[in-house]
């Protein structure tokens, strides 16, 4: 959780997006500052006339009216500064989310696998949101802290050099001490952060694992352990906080003592007649305002820390390497099946993992080929290459004789059908799930695809048919039903090349049989590539290619034997 | 208010700390207010004395000013330390409390907690309640004390000033926050829901990235995400407006109070009721009082959220436990036959039986296979055996005694279970294993790992058994985590072993090897294996097939 210069640079780069709003908020802040000084001057003048000049209230009506005007303007300026600050953040947040989603699209599924999905989601939702206070609070507060104290110093110096000297001496001490103490606390904080994460993780896990804990009769032990963990955490955290709070103690100490000194110094010179009452009171009234912005800085600094914490997650996403997938402009017409040829293909992922080390094979149009081998052998990488999620490090991939990198990627993808290990249902209608990319899907074709995927009966049983919401928040479907919806998606696309990655790995026998029967309908009519573990899946293929350690191990011509009786 | 009162008992153990934090907070704030007021009095008195050419006692006010400055500084620091101490003590009370409440409910009455969404919400609720002292209780109490003392003193000094300041305090401390809250209430409610929906769409997007890349070339899903994200901005803007308005209004009221107090005090001075130094003193005092009001909008704003959190939490903790424990439990025998006799199970509220007419006799030394499609009742069978749910009809006995006669925890000592999704705790591998056997030594742990086929992996880790796993630790593959969970189940010294899909993710040869090792090492244990792998089932002594909650004749 260390705030790296990268994270800060990342936040700074976003600044121009909100340049106009930031200027306006600073302008409103400056106006508010001017009103602060003016109000102090006016109040001092009023009291001078009433107490020293002994003017009656009736004579002071106009000055009081003007004071009301100043007070009102001050409130308006405060409101405007707040509003523009938030408006600045509202410029940055959507633009940032857009940019990161674009980045995610360019990184693609293979590249994104480098981060856990939960981390990407939290970066895009909470992470992007945590950037908000940096723009709405921290940047305006910094500007205010730079302007108002200087302004007050410039006003006070010609009036009373002694008070100005007190300001001048104490003001730089405050940030200095805060930084010194803050640094120490931050170092402790880094460790604390990991502990907090682990404590929360421990608690959350314990909640999630309640059944397991109960099964092992460890309930009472776990209650005690949760209590003990929290106690330990309290003990350690308080040690950190006692030091961390010293930085605000410093600020309070210097500002309060400085105000007290100024009050006493002014008092004596008033007694000795060296200073007039109005000036003395004016400076006394300004003194708290001099330290006020520095104090706001203290709280705004937390906004900065939080934003930096979030930025490190955003930077992690932003720094994901984008796979080099060369694309051309060729848009050939494909027949019913596609011929595929791998020539000495190597693939090394950006993290250095060697996935494929010289893979060569050829698949004829309409052929059904199963890829077998232990997990991690390179089966999924072969599919990722064909899907265009990654590009080969060396070697050639030919489809219908065209090098893959000469094809228009969008055109090529439109001719692919694909089903991953755990197909994803989106939180939308059945129709939207079967035809995700279509603006105007053809219901007839959707129902025919559902029929072939033997999920038409399930859909007919849903309350709103194709309009029924499924996925997260919608109607819950069983794993087998979800897989068949995904299969209908594939049939609807009716692509000449079909790629299946362990299509039945997580299903029971009945669902598996339904899916296999549906897939078998494609045999001979489309080029079919299946990554498979189970003998029953292998039996779908005309031919089995075994992959081991990123190389083709054996080619078996006859799958029936390998499958065994079942 | 009723739900809010429920928080009371949770805070009682730390009541002393909370009271101390509030006292210190009020003291520090009053010191600061007095400091400002006294400074105004002091310089005016000095100026008047200077003008009149008389001397005055400046030692007492000078010393008081210094004393107040110190009190404020030290008080602020002490208040923050004590307030955080109180909060962390609440954390240390609330978490074990919640966990203890949930234990009897798990897992049958907490099935919905498996939904990650709900768990996240529960965690958010706990976090919010833990901050209730710091964010809600302390600011409101401090404001109450400071305003009561301050207004009282104003009333004694010059009642008319208290009369003009009090309405402005009510405006800033109560009316403005309430108005802002009402203005933003709709947006706040919508926002929570819309943010949850955006997060869900994001999950869809990230998890379905591969499918979207292929099937959604025009990036319609991205467009949908951005559209959802944009609708949120409108609500956020409204809330920001409300808070900017509240902030500006509190400041405005404070300065209005200064102006009004000045005018009133000047009139009092002209009438001879007040001395000259009292005028700036009372005016500045009135202004400074608003310091107590500043944190109120936020505190009042959090109140509905706190109440909602408490409601959600009690809705869970006050659920009916699915199994009632016997008043005078019998100690379960050390070994025996676990027998199901025409057992049926119907979940509360369900129309159909999840299981019916189940007859099983699981004797020591027997390896019983259970097969069936998903939803056939395999997990219900486990839940019955573990006594996580009571049987609706028939009888389950162990060594001839009904399970309902045993204490639930004591009975579960007799079964070692590998559930289908066996979560590991965020802890070391050793701690995870010792969940099953707290006092197991190095050799036992290693033997269990060896039997489960995970020992080579453990030995490869730099920290061996002390490798931290789970969230924020070493990432394990699904297979590795499962092997460790299996080792954990094997470690538990119990006469009955229930394994749900123990060979999942293993190559066929490795699966058979595991079963054979199990048979030879655990000859006297009764083993129940749930699997959809026919080879595994063939290796069992007998096989039970479940279809739609009933046993298939075989």
pLDDT digits (tens, 9 = 90+) for B348-370: 877 788 899 999 999 999 999 99
Q: Is B397:B403 a contact under the CB 8 Å cutoff?
A: yes
- Within 8 A of A104 by CB-CB distance, chain B residues are 205-206, 209
pTM of the model: 0.79
Residue range(s) of every CATH 1.20.1560.10 domain in chain B:
2-317
- Within 8 A of B212 by CB-CB distance, chain A residues are 436
Place of tokens 């099935």: B111
| Tokens matching residue A227 | 């209590």
Q: Classify residue B131 by burial, with Cβ atoms within 10 Å: 0-12, 13-18, 19+.
A: middle
Alpha-carbon distance A373 to A552, whole Å?
10
Interface with A, mutate which of B43, B112, B184, B286 (most A CBs under 10 A) = B43
Q: How many CB atoms lie within 10 A of CB B402?
A: 14
Alpha-carbon distance A485 to A278, whole Å?
82
Residue ranges of chain B whose pLDDT lies below 50: 472
| Tokens matching residue A378 | 């390179």
Give the residue on B whose Cα is nearest the Cα of A274.
Answer: B50
Alpha-carbon distance A120 to A181, whole Å?
34
Q: Tell me the per-residue pLDDT of B69-84, one tens digit each, with 9 for 90 and over.
A: 999 999 999 999 999 9
Nearest to B174 by CA among B299, B259, B289, B288: B299
- Give the gap in angstroms from C-alpha A425 to the nearest C-alpha of chain B: 8
- Give the gap in angstroms from C-alpha A359 to the nearest C-alpha of chain B: 23
Alpha-carbon distance B416 to B526, whole Å?
10
Indicate yes or no: CB of A124 within 8 angstroms of CB of B202: yes
Residue of B69, B107, B225 lying closest to A256 (CB–CB): B69
Alpha-carbon distance A299 to A306, whole Å?
11
Query: Hey, what CATH topology would domain A340-563 get?
Result: Rossmann fold (3.40.50)
Q: Write down the pLDDT at residue B332.
A: 94
Interface with B, mutate which of A59, A98, A126, A207 (most B CBs under 10 A) = A207
Place of tokens 């009742």: B377
Alpha-carbon distance B446 to B440, whole Å?
10
| Tokens matching residue B404 | 């309902």
Alpha-carbon distance B233 to A150, whole Å?
36
Q: Write down the pLDDT at residue B286.
A: 97
Interface with B, mutate which of A122, A218, A260 (most B CBs under 10 A) = A260
Alpha-carbon distance B65 to A257, whole Å?
9
Residue of A271, A436, A510 lying closest to B49 (CB–CB): A271
Q: What strands, in cross-sheet order, belong to the sheet with A416-419?
A: A416-419, A497-501, A527-531, A368-372, A543-548, A551-556
| Tokens matching residue B500 | 């749900």
Helices (H) and strands (E) in chain B, counts: 21, 12
Query: Hey, what CATH topology would domain B2-317 get?
Result: ABC transporter transmembrane region fold (1.20.1560)
Q: Is A503:A517 a contact under the CB 8 Å cutoff?
A: no
Residue of A242, A420, A510 lying closest to B373 (CB–CB): A510
Report residue A249: phi and psi, to 5°. -60, -45
Nearest to A476 by CA among A414, A427, A547: A427
- Give the gap in angstroms from C-alpha B479 to the nearest C-alpha of chain A: 11
Alpha-carbon distance A89 to B364, whole Å?
68
Angle of helix A161-208 relative to helix A139-159, nearest 10 degrees? 160
- Within 8 A of A227 by CB-CB distance, chain B residues are 92, 95-96
- Give the gap in angstroms from C-alpha B250 to the nearest C-alpha of chain A: 9
Interface with A, mutate which of B48, B60, B95, B221 (most A CBs under 10 A) = B95
Judging by DSSP bridges, how do beta strands A527-531 and A368-372 pair with one another?
A: parallel
- Within 8 A of B229 by CB-CB distance, chain A residues are 94, 97
| Tokens matching residue B272 | 């001879």
Residue range(s) of every CATH 3.40.50.300 domain in chain B:
338-552
Helical (H) or strand (E) element with B68? helix B59-102
Q: How many CB atoms lie within 10 A of CB B267?
A: 18
Residue of A71, A214, A245 lying closest to B103 (CB–CB): A214
Q: Write down the pLDDT at residue A188.
A: 58
Alpha-carbon distance B147 to B149, whole Å?
6
- Give the gap in angstroms from C-alpha A298 to the nearest C-alpha of chain B: 14
Q: Is B300 helix (H, G, I), strand (E, B) or coil?
A: helix
Residues in chain B: 554
Nearest to A430 by CA among A441, A416, A414: A441
- Give the gap in angstroms from C-alpha A366 to the nearest C-alpha of chain B: 21
Task: Calculate the alpha carbon distances from B202 to A104, A119, A439, A472 in Å.
Answer: 12, 11, 21, 11
Q: Write down the pLDDT at residue B313.
A: 86
Q: Quick one: B338-552 is in which CATH superfamily?
A: P-loop containing nucleotide triphosphate hydrolases (3.40.50.300)
- Give percent helix, percent strand, percent coil of chain A, each to the nearest 5: 65, 10, 25
- Give the gap in angstroms from C-alpha A192 to the nearest C-alpha of chain B: 14
Report residue A552: phi and psi, to 5°. -75, 125
Q: Tell me the count of A-B CB pairs closer than 8 A.
A: 369
Helical (H) or strand (E) element with B537? helix B534-538
Q: How many CB atoms lie within 10 A of CB A67?
A: 22
Q: Write down the pLDDT at residue B394.
A: 94
Is the N-terminal amide bond of A481 cis, ω within 30° of 0? no
Q: Is A286:A156 a contact under the CB 8 Å cutoff?
A: yes
Average pLDDT, chain A: 86
Q: What strands, in cross-sheet order, belong to the sheet with B393-398?
A: B355-362, B338-345, B393-398, B401-402
Report residue A346: phi and psi, to 5°. -115, 145
Q: Classify residue A271 by burial, with Cβ atoms within 10 Å: 0-12, 13-18, 19+.
A: buried
Cα angle, residue A292 at apex, residues A290 and A296 outer, rounded to 5°? 140
Indicate yes or no: CB of B73 within 8 angstroms of CB of A249: yes
Q: Write down the pLDDT at residue A217.
A: 85
Residue of A117, A211, A414 lying closest to B206 (CB–CB): A117
Residue ranges of chain A whose pLDDT lies below 50: 1-2, 559-566
């Amino acid at each position: 959780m260390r705030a790296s210069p990268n994270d800060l640079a990342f936040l700074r780069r976003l600044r121009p997006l909100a340049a106009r709003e930031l200027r306006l908020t600073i302008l409103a802040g400056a106006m508010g500052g001017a009103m602060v000084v003016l109000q102090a001057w006016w109040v001092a003048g009023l009291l001078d006339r009433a107490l020293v000049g002994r003017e009656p209230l009736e004579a002071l009506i106009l000055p009081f009216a003007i004071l009301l005007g100043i007070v009102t303007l001050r409130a308006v300026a405060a409101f405007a500064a707040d509003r523009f600050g938030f408006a600045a953040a509202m410029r940055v947040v959507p633009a940032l989310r857009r940019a990161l989603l674009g980045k995610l699209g360019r990184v693609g599924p293979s590249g994104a696998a480098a981060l856990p999905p939960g981390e990407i989601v939290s970066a895009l939702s909470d992470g992007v949101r945590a950037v908000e206070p940096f723009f709405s609070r921290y940047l305006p507060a910094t500007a205010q802290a730079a302007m108002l104290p200087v302004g007050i110093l410039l006003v006070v110096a010609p009036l009373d050099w002694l008070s100005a000297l007190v300001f001048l001496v104490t003001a730089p001490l405050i940030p200095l001490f805060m930084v010194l103490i803050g640094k120490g606390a931050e170092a402790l904080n880094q460790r604390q952060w990991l502990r907090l994460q682990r404590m929360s993780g421990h608690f959350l896990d314990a909640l999630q694992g309640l059944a397991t804990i109960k099964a092992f009769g460890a309930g009472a032990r776990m209650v005690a352990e949760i209590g003990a963990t929290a106690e330990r955490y309290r003990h350690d955290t308080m040690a950190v906080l006692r030091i961390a709070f010293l930085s605000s103690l410093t600020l309070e100490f210097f500002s309060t003592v400085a105000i007290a000194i100024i009050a006493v110094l002014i008092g004596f010179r008033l007694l000795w007649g060296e200073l007039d009452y109005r000036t003395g009171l004016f400076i006394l009234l300004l003194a708290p305002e001099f330290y006020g912005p520095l104090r706001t800085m203290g709280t705004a600094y937390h906004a900065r820390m939080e934003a930096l914490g979030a930025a490190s997650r955003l930077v992690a996403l932003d720094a994901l390497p984008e796979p080099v997938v060369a694309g051309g402009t060729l848009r050939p017409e494909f027949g019913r099946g596609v011929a595929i040829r791998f020539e000495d293909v190597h693939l090394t992922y950006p993290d250095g993992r060697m996935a494929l080390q010289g893979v060569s094979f050829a698949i004829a149009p309409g052929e059904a080929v199963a890829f077998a081998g232990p997990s991690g052998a390179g089966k999924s990488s072969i599919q990722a290459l064909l899907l265009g999620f990654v590009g080969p490090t060396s070697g050639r991939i030919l489809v219908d004789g065209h090098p893959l990198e000469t094809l228009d990627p969008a055109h090529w993808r439109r001719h692919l059908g694909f089903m991953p290990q755990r197909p994803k249902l989106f939180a939308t209608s059945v129709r939207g799930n079967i035809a995700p990319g279509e603006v105007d899907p053809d219901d007839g074709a959707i129902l025919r695809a559902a029929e072939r995927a033997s999920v038409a009966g399930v859909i007919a049983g849903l309350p709103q048919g194709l309009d029924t919401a499924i996925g997260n928040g919608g109607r819950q479907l069983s794993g087998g039903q979800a897989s068949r919806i995904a299969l209908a998606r594939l049939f609807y696309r009716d692509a000449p090349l079909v790629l299946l990655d362990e299509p039945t790995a997580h299903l029971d026998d009945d669902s598996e049989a339904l899916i296999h029967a549906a897939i078998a309908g494609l045999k001979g009519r489309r080029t079919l590539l299946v990554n498979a573990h189970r003998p029953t899946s292998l039996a779908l293929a005309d031919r089995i290619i075994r992959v081991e350690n990123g190389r083709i191990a054996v080619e078996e011509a006859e799958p029936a034997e390998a499958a065994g009786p079942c | 208010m009723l739900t809010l009162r429920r928080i009371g008992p949770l805070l009682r153990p730390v009541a002393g700390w909370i009271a101390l934090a509030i006292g210190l907070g009020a003291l520090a704030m009053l010191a600061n207010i007095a400091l400002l007021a006294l400074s105004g009095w002091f310089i005016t008195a000095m100026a008047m004395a200077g003008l009149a050419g008389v001397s005055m006692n400046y030692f007492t006010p000078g010393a008081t000013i210094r004393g107040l400055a110190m009190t404020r500084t030290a008080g602020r620091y002490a208040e923050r330390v004590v307030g955080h101490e109180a909060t962390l003590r609440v954390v240390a009370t609330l978490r074990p409390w919640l966990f203890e409440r949930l234990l009897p409910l798990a897992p049958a009455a907490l099935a919905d907690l498996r939904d990650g969404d709900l768990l996240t919400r529960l965690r958010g609720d706990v976090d919010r309640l833990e901050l209730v002292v710091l964010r809600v209780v302390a600011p409101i109490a401090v404001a109450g004390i400071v305003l009561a003392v301050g207004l009282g003193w104003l009333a004694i000094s010059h009642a008319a000033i208290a009369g003009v300041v009090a309405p402005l305090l009510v405006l800033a401390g109560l009316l403005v926050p309430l108005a802002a809250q009402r203005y933003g209430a709709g947006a706040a409610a919508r926002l929570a829901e819309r943010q949850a929906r955006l997060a869900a769409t994001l999950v869809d997007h990230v998890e379905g990235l591969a499918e979207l890349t292929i099937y959604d070339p025009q990036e319609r899903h991205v467009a949908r995400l951005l559209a959802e994200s944009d609708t949120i901005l409108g609500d956020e803007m409204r809330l920001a407006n409300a808070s900017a308005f509240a902030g500006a209004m509190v400041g405005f009221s404070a300065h209005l109070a200064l102006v009004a107090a000045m005018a009133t005090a000047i009139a009092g001075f002209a009438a001879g009721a007040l001395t000259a130094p009292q005028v700036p003193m009372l005016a500045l005092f009135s202004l400074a009082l608003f310091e107590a009001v500043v944190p109120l909008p936020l505190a009042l704003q959090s109140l509905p959220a706190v109440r909602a959190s408490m409601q959600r939490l009690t809705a869970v903790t006050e659920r009916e436990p699915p199994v009632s424990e016997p008043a005078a439990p019998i100690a379960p025998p050390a070994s025996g036959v676990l027998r199901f006799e025409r057992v049926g199970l119907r979940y509360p509220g369900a129309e159909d039986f999840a299981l019916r007419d189940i007859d099983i006799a699981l004797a020591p030394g027997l390896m019983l296979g259970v097969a069936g499609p998903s939803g056939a009742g395999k997990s219900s069978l486990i839940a019955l055996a573990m006594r996580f749910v009571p049987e609706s009809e028939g009888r389950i006995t162990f060594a001839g005694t009904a399970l309902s006669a045993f204490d639930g925890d004591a009975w579960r000592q007799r079964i070692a279970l590998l559930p289908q999704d066996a979560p590991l705790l965020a802890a070391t591998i050793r701690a995870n294993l010792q969940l099953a056997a707290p006092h197991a030594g190095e050799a036992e742990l290693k033997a269990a790992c060896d039997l489960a086929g995970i020992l080579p992996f453990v030995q490869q880790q730099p920290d061996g058994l002390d490798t931290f796993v789970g969230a924020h630790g070493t990432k394990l593959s699904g297979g590795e985590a499962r092997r460790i969970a299996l080792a954990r189940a094997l470690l538990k010294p119990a006469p009955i072993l229930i394994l749900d899909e123990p060979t999942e993710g293993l190559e066929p040869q490795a699966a058979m090897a595991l079963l054979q090792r199990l048979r030879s090492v655990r000859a006297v244990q009764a083993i129940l294996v749930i699997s959809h792998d026919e080879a595994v089932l063939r290796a069992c002594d007998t096989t039970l097939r479940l279809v739609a909650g009933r046993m298939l004749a075989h």
